[in-house]
Every structure is written in structure tokens, then in C-alpha cells.
Amino acid sequence: MFVIWIKFLLIWLLYFTKKAITVDPNLYIFRNHVMKKPHSARLAGKYIALDKAHDEPLNRQLYRSLREGITAGLIPAGEKLPSSRIFAANLGVSRNTVIAAYDQLALEGYTSAKRGGGTLVAKAAKAFANREVTDTVPASPVFSNLGLLLQKDLRSDRLEVSHFQTGSPDGSLFPSDLWARLLRRSARLGGDLGGYEHFTGLPCLQEAIARNLVQSRGVVAQPEQVIVVSTAQAALDLTARLFINPLDIVLLEEPGYLGMRIAAEAANATLISSPVDEFGIDVSLLDCKKYKPKLIYVTPSHQYPLGHVMSLERRLALLELAESAGAFIIEDDYDSEFHFDGDPVSSLYGLDHQERVIYVGTFAKTMMPAHRVAYIVVPPALIAAYKGAVRNAGCVPGHNIQQATAWFLEEGFFRAHLRQMTGVYQLRRDQLISSLQAWNNPALDISCPAGGMQLVVKFDAAEIQDDSVRNNGLKQGYDFSRLSPFYLGAHRRQGLLLGFANMQHKNHDAAMRVLKSCIP
């Protein structure tokens, strides 16, 4: 008995010497050990430590302390909590503080009112206390079949901006101050920008995109055919989900864009591909009866990754194939805006008279990838389906950025920026090509794309593997994009995809030296 009193004394000392005792479960357990059955009055003085200097309101501190005591089993189920008046006096706080904490505990079910007054710790608390000591091994997820496909990322590339990065514009040349003004202007519209509505895009942006597409791409569409989404990837994913049943066939270009392969795989499609030559995809060898595609994905303006323009003949063959197979075509026009030699190439969408072409565009390259604004132009028969799908998938950009993008287009900044960047990128392409040619390496087959942001260097010597070139680069902090992963089949050309759009003049020579050192 005497020993217990000594311990009590020590705890009192501890309490008064330390203004705030942080809530430590071990401390509770120590105390619990001392007093097997804490009485409510003792609880007030010893189990709870409140810090008046702390930001957290006292009632919240009290609530948390009591809750932890309850869930740790230190204040057992059925225990009556002290009356708020006595408790408040013991703690040196106002009675309202205690009442607020009690109310909160009751609200969350930690306590229940006792018939005739008073607050009891709820029975469930005991279950919780018991639960505490049981198995705490993290649960392992069992993903769905499509979920396993959805989380697979085929793109091994690092995403940080680096020299030779593909598809990446030079952000330092984007008119940040102007953009800042437009964003500010949009923010000042406040609630007028809308709430949950406009999930297929702000009408002003739909109109601006439609107007721009008529002029620059020969895509004639009503604004309501334009579905604004956060990224081109979202456009591809939505389209694959809408059309593809497991094992349905998707026809891809060989080599082709990985983003579409991912979207098609996530829908569990059967992937087939047709080879690409300098005229674009060649579907003449495809046995359409045997392999009847449901969706066809192409990049006619500027084939990804090889950079060729699809010829009229091939375009017509493709439209015919789609007709005979009953397929829809995804035309990904990802960087058609940057065209150096000749004007931009017309869209496949403009040639199509059966409304089979789903046109996908993005502002990631013409403005900034970080904006996350892209769009789909869908045939009228598909508007309702995409409208429902976009709302249910929730891949919608914020209204501020949509409004600012609309102004950027409508007020002429977009065209001016494109004009400037096209000039810059053309210079950078020429510089990259002349540097590559200056090496006089017969093993390098250098393409000269008529537009876009990257070029392909194929390795003509069998001993050069793009894998090893990439590994050499990684050692020097460069992540070269390899050509071979873009092939679906076994026959893969080795080579590199070299982005030049983000290659600033000051970095050019050093980057070229690294590149040269990486190619055996």
C-alpha cells in the first residue's frame, strides 16, 4: 500500500513539473499498471495532459486523449466518465471544454449516455481494445484482371525533362507572364466559371478548339463534338473502354505509340499491327477477314515514332479497311502543329465521310504538358456516349485552365506561339541533324522529319543495340528513348528517338558529346 502511495506521489510530481505530457501510449500503460482500476476522479487528474499553449483547442486535446485512452483499453468499456463539472475543475478548464469533448466522443460512438445521466464508455470500445492486439499485417490487395493490366506501365522512361527528351516542348519559351495574366483573369471570374457542369469542356474552349481546327487541320466539327479531357492518354483510355470487349482486335502501327498500346491492353484487347514505311501504315497485307479490327490507331500527320506522313493512297486504303471491318479509327494528331517543310498535313478526319474517325489532339506539345488539357473530336453519333463516359470517369481539366486556354487560342496568342516555336524547333532539328551527319558514322541512318519534336536514328550495324546505348547514357545522367520498344512484333529495328524541341543551344554541344560517347 505504501509503495503505491509513493508511486502516486511520483506521478503527481511528474504531472506538475511537466506542463504538457505528450500523449504517449506507453505512459498510459505505465500508469495503467499502477492503477488497475482507475477511478473517474483520478482519471481527471492523471490520465489527461492538456497543453494550453498548443494551437489545438483544449476540447480537441481532451477528446483525443480520452479517445486514445478508450481505444487503447485503458479506460475500459462500461467505465463512467467523470461528471463534466468535476472533470473541468480537476483539469483547470471550462466546463464547456469538457462537454464539447464528451459530445464528440458520443457522436462517434465511443461513449453512450447512461440512463439517469452520466456518460459511459461504449461496449464497442472493448472490442476495439481487443482488436488492437490482433493481427496488424497489412492486407494484400487482389486486383481485378483488367486492374492488373491498367496498372502495368510499359513506358520505362523517366519523365524528368532532359536533353533529347521526346514530345517535350521548351517550357522556357512559353509566355509565362501572359499565361499568368490569363489565369488571373480566369480566376477573377470566380463562381461564374461554373461548378460541376460543363464536364465535356467549357463551351468557350469547345468553340475555340473547333474554330482553330477548321482553319488549321481541315477538321470541321461543331463545338459539342469537342470533348475536353485532361490528357491525350485519357482520350485513348476512354475510347478503348468504350469500344473494346476483351479479346477484340485493335490495329496499331508497327512501330507505334506506347500510350495506345497501354490503353488497348488495359481493355484486354488483342493487339495486331501493320508495318509503317515512308508512306505510313501499310494495311494491304492485313487479312481483314481473319483479323477484323474494332479500333484502328494511327498518327497520319506525323507517324510516331518514325515521323512519316501518311500518303493519300494509304489514307484511302485505311478508310476502306475501316469501312469493311466496321472499325472506328483513332487519329492521334499529337504534334501536327509543328511543321517545317511545307504546310501542316491535312487530317484523316477531313477525308472521312462515314464519321468513323475519332480525332485526338492535345495542348501538351503546343503549350505545356503540365497544363493537362487535351481534347477529342468525336463523330456526332458518339457525343452522348463520350459525354456519359467522361462524366463517369471524371478526367476533366479545371475550369481556370480551360478558360485561359480558350483566351490563348481566341486572342491570337496560340498562333503566334506556334509560329515562334516552329521556327525554333526547325533550327534545332537542323542543328541536330548537321551535328549527327558531321560524325560520318555509316552505322547511323538519320531521318529528317518534316515536322514535330523528335527524329529517329536507326542503327544499321547489327552490333549496336539501343539497350546498351541507353545504359551507357544512364551512367552519364541521360535517358535516351530507344526505338525497339515501340515495336509490338519480334522484328524490331534498333535505334534512338532523339527529341530536339527542348534542346537549348547552350546545351547542344555537351549533349552531342555524351550521345556520341554512348554509341559504340
Of residues 207-226, those binding its own copies (CB under 8 A): none
The correct pick among 94, 222, 354, 507 for binding its own copies (CB under 8 A) is: 354
Q: Is 63 in the site for its own copies (CB under 8 A)?
A: yes
How far is 318 from 68, CA to CA, in rounded Å?
67
Task: From 14-22, 32-40, 126-134, 220-228, give the range in contact with its own copies by CB under 8 A.
Answer: 126-134
Of residues 363-402, those binding its own copies (CB under 8 A): 364, 368-373, 379-382, 384-389, 391-401
Number of residues that bind its own copies (CB under 8 A): 143
How far is 107 from 330, CA to CA, in rounded Å?
54
Q: Is 143 in the site for its own copies (CB under 8 A)?
A: yes
Q: Is 353 in the site for its own copies (CB under 8 A)?
A: yes
Of residues 244-263, those binding its own copies (CB under 8 A): 244-245, 248, 262-263
**Minimal distance in Å, beta carbon 268 to its own copies?**
10
Of residues 501-520, those binding its own copies (CB under 8 A): none
Q: Is 399 helix (H, G, I), strand (E, B) or coil?
A: helix
Q: Name the β-bridge partners of 281.
A: 276
CB 109 within 8 A of CB 64: no
C-alpha distance from residue 131 to each of 68, 141, 394 (Å): 14, 21, 37
**Minimal distance in Å, beta carbon 175 to its own copies?**
9
Q: Is 66 in the site for its own copies (CB under 8 A)?
A: no
CB 446 within 8 A of CB 203: no
Of residues 178-207, those binding its own copies (CB under 8 A): 179-181, 183-191, 193-199
Count CA within 13 A, CB hemisphere, residue 344: 20
Q: Is 71 helix (H, G, I), strand (E, B) or coil?
A: helix
Q: Is 124 in the site for its own copies (CB under 8 A)?
A: yes
Q: Is 177 in the site for its own copies (CB under 8 A)?
A: yes
Nearer Cβ to its own copies (400/494): 400
Sheet harboring 249-254: ordered strands across? Answer: 226-229, 374-377, 357-362, 328-332, 293-298, 249-254, 270-277, 280-281
Q: What is the DSSP letter of 451?
A: B
Residue 373 C-alpha cell reads as 488539357
Identity (one letter) of the amino acid at 51? D
Q: Name the β-bridge partners of 280.
A: 277
**Minimal distance in Å, beta carbon 501 to its own copies?**
11
Of residues 81-100, those binding its own copies (CB under 8 A): 100
| CB proximity list for 295: less than 8 A, separation 6 or greater | 239, 240, 243, 244, 248, 250, 251, 264, 269, 327, 328, 329, 330
| Residue 226 φ/ψ, nearest 5 degrees | -90, 115
Of residues 267-286, those binding its own copies (CB under 8 A): 267, 279
Nearer Cβ to its own copies (41/411): 411
**Minimal distance in Å, beta carbon 64 to its own copies?**
8
**Minimal distance in Å, beta carbon 517 to its own copies?**
26
Residue 285 C-alpha cell reads as 497485307
The correct pick among 107, 214, 416, 427 for binding its own copies (CB under 8 A) is: 107
The alpha carbon torsion through 154, 157, 158, 160 (nearest 10 deg) reads: -120
Q: Which of 335, 276, 330, 331 is nearest to 302 (CA)?
A: 335
**Minimal distance in Å, beta carbon 366 to its own copies?**
14
Q: Is 229 in the site for its own copies (CB under 8 A)?
A: yes
CB 157 within 8 A of CB 466: no
Nearer Cβ to its own copies (316/510): 316
How far is 225 from 357, CA to CA, in rounded Å?
12
Q: Which of 496, 491, 453, 507 is nearest to 167 (CA)?
A: 453
The correct pick among 150, 271, 446, 448 for binding its own copies (CB under 8 A) is: 150
Nearer Cβ to its own copies (207/265): 265
Cβ-based burial of 394 (10 A; exposed 0-12, middle 13-18, buried ≥19): exposed
Cβ neighbours, 10 Å, residue 518: 19
Q: Is 412 in the site for its own copies (CB under 8 A)?
A: no
CA–centroid distance for 245 within its chain? 24
**Minimal distance in Å, beta carbon 193 to its own copies?**
5
Q: Is 429 in the site for its own copies (CB under 8 A)?
A: no
Q: Is 53 in the site for its own copies (CB under 8 A)?
A: no
**Minimal distance in Å, beta carbon 436 to its own copies?**
23
Angle among Cα 123, 128, 131 to the nearest 5 degrees reads: 135
The correct pick among 83, 90, 168, 273 for binding its own copies (CB under 8 A) is: 168
Tell the residue number behind the cell numbers 497543453, with chain if given.
51
Q: Is 463 in the site for its own copies (CB under 8 A)?
A: no
Of residues 292-331, those binding its own copies (CB under 8 A): 294, 309-316, 319-320, 323, 326, 328
Nearer Cβ to its own copies (210/382): 382
**Minimal distance in Å, beta carbon 98 to its own copies?**
13
Beta strands at 249-254 and 270-277: parallel, antiparallel or unpaired? parallel
Of residues 2-41, those binding its own copies (CB under 8 A): none
Binding mask 478-497 for its own copies (x = CB under 8 A): --------------------
The correct pick among 94, 96, 176, 437 for binding its own copies (CB under 8 A) is: 176
Task: From 43-51, 238-246, 439-447, 455-463, give the range in contact with its own copies by CB under 8 A.
Answer: 238-246
